[in-house]
Structure 1
């Protein structure tokens, strides 16, 4: 009956959640990297494509498995930063 509309809304919600998760994770990563002396372009001389490669790999895997966005958040905020 309204399954198409409901499914469409769920998909939009999931895309929004993934986008927010990646922004939050990216912000946290930047803050942690700055605290560690890292910054955007840190590997520019030794491996100019490092940041692009990392971004493409993360986006590819999150696109294939939407659960990864939440798992990345947990890894960034709990497993890495707390310890």
Structure 2
């Protein structure tokens, strides 16, 4: 379900809001903001379901978002360097 929120367009939008970035130096900053943006939009649509999860399940979902975002970031920017 959350996979639909992790895409190249969202990443490009996050980077455009940051301004000039330098990889790999800014990787952590970009990844953090990308994950936060994904989670914020996901929670707007599915906040009730997320709240119904126990803490362990929420943590697992957050880790999955981080993993998915990292894959997209690596594919789009880091592997091209």
Under a length normalisation based on structure 2, what TM-score does the superposition of the two structures give? Answer: 0.46
Q: Which has the bigger relative contact order, CA under 8 A and spacing at least 6?
A: 2
> Computing the radius of gyration over CA atoms, which structure comes out larger, 1 or 2?
1
